[in-house]
Structure 1
Amino acid sequence: MTEDTAAGNTEAPANPQVKMRVLGQFIRDMSFENVMAQKGIAGDVQPEISVQVNLDAKKRPVEHQFEVSIKLKLTSKAKGMEDVLFLCEIDYCGLFHVEGVPEDQLHPFLLIECPRMLFPFLRRIVSDITRDGGFPPVNLDSIDFVALYRNELMRRQAEQANKTEA
């Protein structure tokens, strides 16, 4: 019997501390197409920008290392028209060392916390690309990665329910 137990201190051992370290960040793939210039469209247009976001995470061969990617697709159209002004696609990745996260919480951790760390860098890259492409810089709004994760879970559950009904 230890002194703590004898003294009536029966606290459970502390949970392991979460350790996360960004090992690297890189652009896996990037494309910017200035459709407006290719078509010879000139003049002052008001762009409407739609943004699609996809997240992915996978284990790397090294223990406790993961690769997380944010795939963005921006489509800008002239307000009130169907003319595409520009298309921007980027696959931005981060390599992470993660320890101390319980197995049942690892998936949400990788798809919520890791993208939060990458997003400010991705936002700057998108701003630079659009500015260098001849448009006003696009400053992406913050992304709610928790809501994005929950929506994906609900979509998968609905898809699974449809498969079991069929």
Structure 2
Amino acid sequence: MTEEANGAAPAQPQLNMKILAQFVRDMSFENAVALKGLQAGEVAPEMQVQVSLDARKRPADNQYEVMTKFKIIANNTATSSPLYILELDYGGIFHIEGVPEEQMHPFLLIECPRQLFPFVRRIVSDVTRDGGFPPFNLDMVDFVALYRAELARRAEAQAAEAPQA
């Protein structure tokens, strides 16, 4: 007897996600200390981290490109002058099957960046260390909260653009 015959819901398609490729699209590390000829000395940096995400369908079936963009600014807390600025655009190409269409957008902007994050963290740590600073280990990013904040921002922007009655 099948599940449908006994009144159970039909089985959901099996989720299948593969990372086909990962890549650095763009990266910039500006060491302000070296550019100004200053000594880093004993500083307690104040870190600012900005994260943005983007996703798009690729021409091949079930393939998507997801970009994570990080901008990290380290300022000297004593002088408020910048120590370094790191900008990293890191992407992945994913093959995804079994995700319902109405859930694809959050899946692309939450789960896919979650898969890429350990690699971004490693690059940031290596670049800051190789730039002459202590390695900066990014804290985990809450991609669910980031996604919800972006939805709220878009809703506010649409409400502001709507004609007033």
Instruction: Note whether the superposition's TM-score is higher than 0.5.
Output: yes
Displacement of 1:44 in angstroms is 1.7
Pick aligned residue for 1:55 from 48, 53, 63: 53
Larger radius of gyration: 1
Using the aligned pairs only, state the percent identity. 59
Q: What is the one-letter code of the residue matched to 1:132? A: D
Displacement of 1:76 in angstroms is 0.6
RMSD over equivalenced CA pairs, Å: 1.3
Q: Does 1:119 align with 2:148?
A: no
Which residue of 2 is the match for residue 12 of structure 1? Answer: 9
Q: Which runs of 5+ in 1 are unaligned?
A: none
Note the 1:63-142 alignment, pairs <5 A. 63-142=61-140
The number of equivalent residue pairs is 162
Which residue of 1 is the match for residue 38 of structure 2? Answer: 41
Q: Which runs of 5+ in 2 are unaligned?
A: none
> What TM-score does the superposition give when structure 2 sets the normalisation length?
0.94
Judged with a 3 Å threshold, the aligned counterparts in structure 2 of structure 1 residues 4 and 106 are, in CA distance, closer, same or farther, namely closer
Displacement of 1:92 in angstroms is 0.2
> What TM-score does the superposition give when structure 1 sets the normalisation length?
0.94
Pick aligned residue for 1:23 from 17, 20, 23: 20
More deviation in 119-128 or 75-84? Answer: 75-84
Displacement of 1:165 in angstroms is 4.1
Displacement of 1:10 in angstroms is 1.5
Checking the alignment, whether the CA contact within 8 Å between 2:43 and 2:78 is kept in structure 1 is no
Displacement of 1:82 in angstroms is 2.1
Whole-angstrom distance in 2 between the partners of 1:152 and 1:144: 13
Whole-angstrom distance in 1 between the partners of 2:86 and 2:29: 4
Which residue of 1 is the match for residue 161 of structure 2? Answer: 163
Alignment partner of 2:38: what SS?
coil
Displacement of 1:41 in angstroms is 1.7
Q: What is the one-letter code of the residue matched to 1:40? A: G
Cα deviation digits, residues 119-164 of structure 1 (max 9, x gap): 0011000000000000000000000000000000000000000000
Checking the alignment, whether the CA contact within 8 Å between 1:4 and 1:10 is kept in structure 2 is no
